[in-house]
Structure 1
Amino acid sequence: MYSKNLIPILNVGAEVNQFSPHGLDSLDPLPNKDEFVSSAPTLNEPRTSAYTIYVDLPDTDEEMLLVHGYLGHRIKVNKDIAMYLRANEDKRPPRPLYGEWKDLEYRDMKVEKPESEIITSLRKKGFLTLRTQEQEHSFFKQYATNKANTMIKQAPYYLIMPTYSCNLRCPYCFQDHMRTDPNYSHLLKKMTPETVDLVFDNLPVLEARHNFVADEKHVRTFKFFGGEPLLKENRDIIEYTMNRARAEGKAKFLAISNGTDLQHYKDLLGPEGISEIQITFDGTPKEHDKRRIYPDGTGSFELISQNIQLALDLGVKIIGRINVDKNNLTDLPELADVISEKGWGKYSNFGVYLAVIVAHNEQTSDTECFGTRELNHAFIKLKEQYPKLDMFQFDGDAMKKKARRVFETNKENSPQLPQFCGAHNKMYVIDAFADIYACYEKTGDEKIRIGYFDQKSGLNIHKKNECDWRSRTVASNPICSQCRYAFYCGGGCAINAEVRTGKMHANFCDSYGKRFRESVAEAYLESKQA
């Protein structure tokens, strides 16, 4: 059970603005059930659930697919039933903080009530409810909070940042200021063995806050991040960290690396060592060498490609990431040829995906960046001309995978995303100074750290900063808590929300509703053909 003296999400007082030793407290940033309005049903006649998702089907104008936004139920109905449900909605969902929803308006239409057995079926599936709008809203918030509490109680995982230093100067990097502004030069030190020992000595204390105690079967996950974690000069501290992790129990090691110095880690790579590495290459060799450059302006593609080959041969899973904007999208066919010529696609441990670039600094123009849905459509159109581009995974594939779950009758169909990512529940980012952060895109500033390790006091937690991160759920945001896609979307990235709105506790929709409906419709056709 959680301690009673912990942080309620809506009642963070000034007294929690200080760091305090936190060895005996559990992590509890979420509201308890007493803070919610009663969700007991009181209506005599059912109303349409505000979390009903309507999906137009591409092969018929007479039927629609209904998906329940948090129960996960789905049912195909004729348009008359769908129109009845829409006409029976008593409140439209609020508009996002940016963008808009353009749903058709059915509420003023006179639609005949379906037969009683259909009404019963719709109630069993949750599409009709005897809860008022306020009661259903409260029920959703309780449901989402319970799910988030379950996730918080799970084993933490760790991003280890051995340094903020990097040997490349990529123009779009969100950490660019750390290497180019002398005011941040103090951050470029390397983690020491003493810091590693301090961290590992206190991991059990940190894990106990999640009501979790590691046993001999548990495998801790450590992902190396930077800066560039796998620099040649970091070789000794990476090995020391891995050895110390193994001394504490079973461990799995991953990395996000630029891949330029992997040749110095050959004996640490492989299924029993660093088993998975994400490496970025931005288009063709020519285009890549304009973007992922050394301080003197020289390119890095050839060395990276050699090290990708090295890692693949050692059995490392390589996840290639291609940052795509409006300037390099059309280079993808040529890049596909390069990948094919190198033979990487023949390795089962190789994959590559496309990612949008977010304008984090003045060197990157927002007008040159794609939105996720915009990139999806542009890439699909390009792939129609070049089928070989099928080797690249993109957001549409991930969305379709999520949408396919709607049709997997032998599995739990309920969506399970009350929070967008691990920054809001069980991820800890630990840097070379033993400072602890929630998100790897928000590091290097003591003012925003959620805690730190100290030789004398051990683990120290800044309760307000931690609460700001760990309390962000689809229930805590008034927009998300009334959104029918919330449990599939998770509220979107907090960092992107902050970039767009200035507030981390805002929603970042990124056309999610349209992307989800499109993917469900495509997944429906697949299931029908199967």
Structure 2
Amino acid sequence: MRVSNYVIGAPLQNDNHYILMHGFTGAVDKVSYSLGQYLVERRGTNCQPEDEIIRSLSQETLSHLESRGYLTNMDKNEERSVMIRIASTLHENDLRTSPAGFMLIPTFTCNLRCPYCFQSHEMHAGRKEFATVMTRERVDQAFAAMDQFAGPGSVATALGLINDSLDSPLETIKMPKSPITLFGGEPLSSVSLPIIPYIVEQANLRGRTLSAVTNGVELDKFVDLLGPGLIEELQITLDGLAELHDKRRVGPKFRRTFETIVTNIETALQRGARVSVRLNIDTTNIADISGLNEYFTRLGWNEEPGFSAYAAVVFSAYKRPENISQADLVRLTTNLKDTEDSHIESYEQWARNTLISCLSGDGYPFKRVTHCAAETGLLIFDPLGDVYTCWEETGQRERRIATYGKQGLQFIDKTAGQWLSRFPGAIEQCSECPYALIHTAGCASHARSISGTIFASACESFQEFFPQTLARAYLDFENALLNSNTLLKPNTEDEIA
């Protein structure tokens, strides 16, 4: 018998116990500290007769640990094969049932020149072809393609990755219509103002609303288009309090943007739009997270049902002295929750959502293995007639997956097919990882930036922060149960609590 390669666990703070999770059975158990430590530290190794912790367990407990997957009689390759079969099944289901996601880039130009932006200066300055603004003809062509690929599994079917011979035809599967996202450049600026009302009109004709990833600097020009049934959701960046923010979020005509953006967020919330504020964090502004939370509280935003705020690290394929890891950011945001009642999160929700899925009893807990919509069929239409599937690669024509125009949408099969073929079972490193069905190989674009291929993992310190956030999420869950007078029953005796 050996310890499974897919054991995940962490000690529970101020509690002489461990929380365990199995990476493909979805089992979750609270066990003694000594047992949890043994299983995590000995992951993937054979149990030895002289192992005191194993000899101390009853046969009932050993059988329970085996039934949950923590102990196994499978060797490493057999267990890996099981994980790959599970991932492959989930991947096929992802491709069959996922409707395409849609984004529109009205213009590549941007009114800001943020120093850490992943897009090029030529693009934002509108040089050469990047000066093009989406026309009504292009909008009509994009929406015609959206109409064609609105059904679940439509992109994968068009690429020959699945067929539509299901017991229940794809067109009968009812899926909610997700918003069409406006992206850029800067999608809501004076440059794009003439075309945005037409985009809203065409979306409404199809029963779709819009969201936008915007810097919010010129949002006041679009007030009448904000709110329910129109542009309903906004992602807007604030990179610190005014002094720091105004050093980072600047443009040729916008030297101080903090107060303008704050005023525009207020207006959007008043119009009934949902606003998610993103904080792009590195060492230069990490100290401002606490101050921003206090500022949001003072403005009353933290009490607004349509408001949320989250922090994310600034990614770069090259080492920058300002960079921090996701694990570093998680430590800060979780500490702020404990000490200052902060409402700003970073990557903690990963563990919380996974735990809820494992404990809910709603079927198999790991529902998807595609990391983002790019791996099931995200279509991003730019103003030049090109289609991308990853917003971090827009404008790089060698990365486009299709073209669109009068002849409809034409896939570049090799490029598009690669994206829809990526999942943990297709990446050797991921197939052996206990987090494979949770982190789902990480961001493909980041993997390409680091390794030169999307068929690589982008771990980004996930293995470091997930166990700690899992332990915290479990304690929160347990406290909620205890406070609601719901008793937690032990699973078995001995080392299982």
Common fold: TM-score over 0.5: yes
Write the letter of the residue equivalent to 1:110: D
The alignment partner of 1:393 has SS state of coil
Query: Which residue of structure 1 lines up, in the alignment, with residue 369 of structure 2?
Result: 418
Q: 1:54 to 1:353 in 2, by over 3 A?
A: closer
Write the letter of the residue equivalent to 1:229: P
Distance 2:175 2:422 in 1: 31
The answer to whether 1:315 aligns with 2:272 is yes
Query: Which residue of structure 2 lines up, in the alignment, with residue 477 of structure 1?
Result: 427
The alignment partner of 1:436 has SS state of strand
The answer to whether 1:205 aligns with 2:148 is yes
The answer to whether 1:367 aligns with 2:318 is no
Write the letter of the residue equivalent to 2:18: M
Query: Which residue of structure 1 lines up, in the alignment, with residue 201 of structure 2?
Result: 243
Write the letter of the residue equivalent to 2:77: E
Please list, as runs of the form range in 1=range in 2, the aligned pairs for 1:67-106 lying within 5 A after superposition: 67-78=21-32, 81-82=35-36
Task: State the 1:268 CA deviation.
Answer: 1.1
The answer to whether 1:515 aligns with 2:469 is no
Query: Which residue of structure 1 lines up, in the alignment, with residue 378 of structure 2?
Result: 427
Query: Which residue of structure 1 lines up, in the alignment, with residue 85 of structure 2?
Result: 142
Q: 1:119 to 1:335 in 2, by over 3 A?
A: closer
- Per-residue Cα deviation, 1:189-215 (whole angstroms, up to 9, x for no partner): 111111111122233433434554389
Task: State the 1:482 CA deviation.
Answer: 0.5
Residues 405, 413 of structure 1: 8 Å contact kept: no
Residues 333, 345 of structure 2: 8 Å contact kept: no
Q: 1:257 to 1:69 in 2, by over 3 A?
A: same
The alignment partner of 2:65 has SS state of helix
The match for 1:394 among 346, 352, 356 is 346
Q: 1:303 to 1:508 in 2, by over 3 A?
A: same
Distance 1:342 1:482 in 2: 47
Query: Which residue of structure 1 lines up, in the alignment, with residue 489 of structure 2?
Result: none
Task: State the 1:412 CA deviation.
Answer: 4.4
Distance 1:215 1:127 in 2: 37
Distance 1:240 1:223 in 2: 14
Task: State the 1:118 CA deviation.
Answer: 2.5
The answer to whether 1:231 aligns with 2:189 is yes
Write the letter of the residue equivalent to 1:222: I
Write the letter of the residue equivalent to 1:53: I
Residues 138, 385 of structure 2: 8 Å contact kept: yes
Q: Identity rate of aligned residues, in percent?
A: 29
Residues 112, 254 of structure 2: 8 Å contact kept: no
Task: State the 1:514 CA deviation.
Answer: 2.5
The answer to whether 1:110 aligns with 2:75 is no
Task: State the 1:407 CA deviation.
Answer: 6.4
Task: State the 1:85 CA deviation.
Answer: 5.2
Q: 1:84 to 1:344 in 2, by over 3 A?
A: closer
The alignment partner of 1:213 has SS state of helix
Query: Which residue of structure 2 lines up, in the alignment, with residue 177 of structure 1?
Result: 121
Task: State the 1:379 CA deviation.
Answer: 4.1
Q: 1:222 to 1:299 in 2, by over 3 A?
A: same
Give the CA RMSD over aligned residues.
2.8
Q: 1:119 to 1:339 in 2, by over 3 A?
A: closer
Write the letter of the residue equivalent to 2:209: K
The answer to whether 1:65 aligns with 2:27 is no
Task: State the 1:179 CA deviation.
Answer: 3.6
Distance 1:64 1:179 in 2: 51
The alignment partner of 1:150 has SS state of helix
Distance 1:284 1:291 in 2: 11
The match for 2:310 among 347, 350, 353 is 353
The alignment partner of 1:522 has SS state of helix
Task: State the 1:355 CA deviation.
Answer: 1.4
Residues 319, 353 of structure 1: 8 Å contact kept: yes
Distance 1:234 1:332 in 2: 32
Q: 1:108 to 1:82 in 2, by over 3 A?
A: farther
Query: Which residue of structure 2 lines up, in the alignment, with residue 376 of structure 1?
Result: 330
Residues 453, 459 of structure 1: 8 Å contact kept: yes
Write the letter of the residue equivalent to 1:452: T
Q: 1:318 to 1:109 in 2, by over 3 A?
A: farther
Write the letter of the residue equivalent to 1:325: D
Distance 1:238 1:373 in 2: 39
With normalisation by structure 1, the TM-score equals 0.80
The answer to whether 1:335 aligns with 2:292 is yes
Distance 1:278 1:384 in 2: 26
The match for 1:440 among 374, 377, 391 is 391
Task: State the 1:240 CA deviation.
Answer: 1.4
The alignment partner of 1:271 has SS state of coil
Task: State the 1:518 CA deviation.
Answer: 0.5
The alignment partner of 1:395 has SS state of coil
Task: State the 1:273 CA deviation.
Answer: 0.6
The answer to whether 1:126 aligns with 2:69 is yes
Distance 1:84 1:148 in 2: 33
Residues 105, 182 of structure 2: 8 Å contact kept: yes
Larger mean Cα displacement after TM superposition, 125-134 or 225-234: 125-134
Write the letter of the residue equivalent to 1:464: K
- Per-residue Cα deviation, 1:140-164 (whole angstroms, up to 9, x for no partner): 1121121112112221111111111
Task: State the 1:474 CA deviation.
Answer: 0.8
Q: How many aligned positions are there?
A: 462
Write the letter of the residue equivalent to 2:139: V
Distance 2:248 2:278 in 1: 14
Task: State the 1:454 CA deviation.
Answer: 3.0
Q: 1:82 to 1:328 in 2, by over 3 A?
A: closer
Q: 1:238 to 1:285 in 2, by over 3 A?
A: same
Residues 87, 109 of structure 1: 8 Å contact kept: no
Distance 1:444 1:428 in 2: 14
Distance 1:403 1:461 in 2: 35
Residues 164, 178 of structure 1: 8 Å contact kept: no
Query: Which residue of structure 2 lines up, in the alignment, with residue 12 of structure 1?
Result: none
The answer to whether 1:464 aligns with 2:464 is no
The alignment partner of 2:392 has SS state of coil
The match for 1:194 among 127, 133, 137 is 137
Q: 1:67 to 1:334 in 2, by over 3 A?
A: closer
The alignment partner of 2:379 has SS state of strand
The alignment partner of 2:208 has SS state of strand
Query: Which residue of structure 1 lines up, in the alignment, with residue 94 of structure 2?
Result: 151
Task: State the 1:131 CA deviation.
Answer: 3.4
- Per-residue Cα deviation, 1:354-413 (whole angstroms, up to 9, x for no partner): 11112368xxx711111111122244456666x15x0322223x1342354166344446
